[in-house]
Chains A and B, each alone.
Chain A
Amino acid sequence: MQQEEFILELDGIKKTFNVGEPNEAEVLHGIHMTLKRGEFCAIVGPSGSGKSTLLNIVGLLDRPTQGSLRIVGQETVQLEDAALTRLRGHTIGFVFQYHHLINAFTALENVMMPMLADRGFPSEDIQQQAQYLLDSVGLTPWLNSPAARLSGGQQQRVAIARALAMKPALILADEPTGNLDTQSARIVFDLLRNISTKQGMSVLFVTHNELLAKNCDRTLEVIDGMIK
């Protein structure tokens, strides 16, 4: 029951950079945390406190130096790169501060990419799913617009639609509103909040915006590599 309850379980996660070198630095000093299915959790803290490092480890983009990391009940620390990639692709969606859309593609094609990469070949249902996701973030009129021609807010909404493409259990949003004006930031936040509520996706939402953090289910503060 517990494995189904928690999407994310971190136990004593430590991260040290430049191990064995004179400039060795421990950035995370033993993080313990859990995240329930459907929970919308804000992570706050000053710059350089280790928020992004924590998110990279949770997103399986980086490996912890020590500790245990379970995602949807699966221990990940010992997994090979290929298995981590597969697990990441199927379980985690990313939204970064910068949208990181691929400019060579349109909005629709960007959202299709994770599904295409997973299945290898395009199909009608992949396109329909991408259209549905873009519709749900209010971008139907811009389906075929090149990614580079969209506004900042629109690009971030395409990035959210792309993060949702594989129906992940966990969304990791690393300051997704950091580059947006107040109105666009609110739209993006509400979008994530609604999706989390409707689809039961867990969200880790890194932000410096206290107002947005207060609207989350829970707020964790990372200071000097520890959760306070």
Chain B
Amino acid sequence: MSLFKGQPFEWIVAMRFLSEGKVQTSFIIGGISIGVAVIIFMSALLSGLQSNFVKRVLTGQAHIQILPPKEVVRALQDFEHNTLEGATMQAPLQRIKSIDQWQSVAHDVMNFDEVVSVSPAATGAALVTRGNATQAVSITGMVPEIYYNIIPLPEKIVQGNAFVTHEDIVIGTELADNMGLTIGDKIRLSAANGTNITLTVRGIFDLGNKGANTRNAYVSLRTAQSILGMIGAASVLDVTVKDVYEAEIVARKIAQLTHLDVESWIKTNEQFFIAVGAQTTANSAIRFFVALSVGFGIASVLVVSVVQRSSNIGILRAMGVTRGQILRVFLLQGGVLGFAGAWVGALMGGMALMAWEHFEKNPDGSVMFTLNFEPRMFVMAIVLATLTGLLAAVAPALRAARLDPVVAIRG
């Protein structure tokens, strides 16, 4: 059996040098592993956190909302003298308005490749009355089969169900508590225009927000249209898109087509995106400095190795080994250290993430939030650590290749 079967000279020497200094090699691989594990853990945690935030934000909100244009005032004009009459203009009151030809607009918007669904809704304010108790609510009238594709209300139901008919209403847990309501109870809904209607509580939801659980109520589109006095109308079109992060671009396209007011969730949650951006920057900085410390760790170990092995390098040069071969021997060592450390680190990071998911729970025992186990992240970490190892090895490798053989042999 032949020795070193199929392995190139540089690989053989590099591997032996690494395996000879087992303790040194183990320590540096340990250091690299911890660095890689930190990067993987942090990235998955922050990515999971961001996805969770986005999911939570979009649980109670459409990706895009199409609204009728706001009413504006125009100054009274004297056409005879071509002058403006009014010196002061007052902002107009915004009435609940319908989107003109909303069926046609919904059809046009659905034709966008990026759009998944369009849901018409009629929204407005009303009073809930039960006995002597009264509370103001914001009602949303919708078609459950379409609307729940956009807002997953059924997932938030804690009692009853979310599938309302024209005689039903779905309310929040806080409103139910305040009014002493439960499934099957009747409540009276009154609009500002004097219309009253009696509805049955079909379901109670918990959106995870006390305010939202107090103020929001959902009824069928037909019910909302009749109570708000806007028969056959829709005051808003809620839109879902394929890529939530493309919502602003799609919103602009829709605005251009329809000349209506179009708002994406990105625009309405600007502060959230600033926070996400800051978090991403902080994460990148942490990753950069961890990678830097890994790089310096590898470089320092290899510099020591060059010094320790100077007589070996000298004798190799004396027996005809070229500077290029010596360079490759040390570059390989850096690359192998990075690669091995990355694999162990990926394993450690994966285990840490699993442990986190297992031990960090919500008070109700559910998972705090789902972490992102993206294979791409592991591959990237391994590639980056290997490249860091190679880069970190450049200086020691050059030093080794440039050693004067006479001085090196002398030690």
Contacts and interface: CB of A to CB of B under 8 A. Distances in A.
Interface in B1-22: 2-9, 12, 16-17, 19-20
Interface stretch (A102-110, A188-196, A211-219): A102-110
A123 interface: yes
Contact of A117 (B321, B406, B409): B321
Given A102-B315, A122-B12, A88 B7 contact: no
Contacts of B409: 61, 96, 100
Interface string B18-37: 01100000000000000000
A113 B325 CA distance: 12
B282 interface: no
Contacts, number: 88
B362 to A, nearest CB: 54
Given A89-B319, A121-B8, A122-B12, A127 B19 contact: no
A90 B12 contact: no
Nearest to B411: A98
B188 interface: no
A120 interface: yes
B17 A62 contact: no
B311 interface: yes
Contacts of B321: 85, 89, 117
A157 interface: no
A182 to B, nearest CB: 26
B309 to A, nearest CB: 9
B7 A162 contact: no
B134 interface: no
Contacts of A162: 319
A187 to B, nearest CB: 22
Contacts of A96: 315, 409
A90 B4 CA distance: 22
B319 A121 contact: no
Interface in A115-174: 116-124, 127, 162, 165-166
Contacts of A122: 2-7, 12
Q: Which of B3, B8, B317 has the most CB of A within 10 A?
A: B3
Nearest to B9: A116
Contact of A108 (B3, B17, B325): B3
Interface in B302-318: 311-312, 314-318
A85 B2 contact: no
B24 to A, nearest CB: 13
B268 interface: no
B317 to A, nearest CB: 7
B284 interface: no
28 contacts: A61-B317, A61-B405, A62-B406, A85-B320, A86-B322, A88-B318, A89-B321, A100-B314, A100-B315, A100-B409, A102-B16, A102-B312, A102-B315, A104-B16, A109-B4, A112-B4, A113-B316, A116-B4, A116-B12, A117-B320, A121-B6, A121-B7, A122-B3, A122-B6, A122-B7, A127-B3, A162-B319, A166-B320
4 tightest A-B contacts by CB?
A89-B320, A104-B16, A104-B20, A122-B4
Interface of A: 56, 59, 61-62, 81-82, 85-86, 88-90, 93-94, 96, 100, 102-105, 108-109, 112-114, 116-124, 127, 162, 165-166
Interface of B: 2-9, 12, 16-17, 19-20, 311-312, 314-323, 325, 405-406, 409
